[in-house]
Amino acid sequence: MRVSRGVVLALGIPALLILTAVTTVAQSSPTPTGGGSQASGATVLPGDPSKGETLYAQNCASCHGAGLEGGIGPSLNPIEKLPGVSDPLSPAFLIEIITSGRQPQPGDPRSTQMPAKGGNLSLTDQDVKNLAAYIIDQNRRGEPPLSPGELAKRTILWVSIGIIAMIFITYLLSAYNMRWIARRAAARRR
What are 95-122's pLDDT values in tens digits?
Answer: 999 999 988 878 777 678 899 999 999 9
What are 112-155's pLDDT values in tens digits?
Answer: 889 999 999 999 999 999 999 999 998 888 665 666 777 788 88
Closest CA to 154 of 34, 29, 24: 24
With a cut of 50, say whether residue 38 has pLDDT above it. no
Same domain assignment for residues 48 and 119: yes
Same domain assignment for residues 41 and 107: yes
In a domain, 25, yes or no: no
Question: Out of 36-40, 65-69, 81-85, 89-93, which region has the weakest mean confidence (pLDDT)?
Answer: 36-40
What are 4-16's pLDDT values in tens digits?
Answer: 666 767 777 777 7
Same domain assignment for residues 40 and 83: yes
Using left for φ > 0, alpha for ψ between -120 and 50, and beta otherwise, residue 68 falls in left
Give the residue numbers spanning the domain of 168. Answer: 146-181
Are the CB atoms for 79 and 89 separated by under 8 Å? yes
The more confident residue out of 62 and 78 is: 62
In a domain, 83, yes or no: yes
With a cut of 80, say whether residue 17 has pLDDT above it. no
- The per-residue pLDDT for 34 is 38
CB count within 10 Å of CB 132 equals 26
Same domain assignment for residues 39 and 92: yes
Same domain assignment for residues 41 and 123: yes
Domain count, the chain: 2
Same domain assignment for residues 119 and 60: yes
The more confident residue out of 34 and 15 is: 15
Instruction: Return the DSSP state at 76.
Output: B
- The per-residue pLDDT for 146 is 61
Same domain assignment for residues 151 and 136: no
In a domain, 8, yes or no: no
Phi, psi of 76 (to 5 degrees): -110, -10
Question: What 3-state class would DSSP assign to 72?
Answer: coil
In a domain, 175, yes or no: yes
In a domain, 40, yes or no: yes
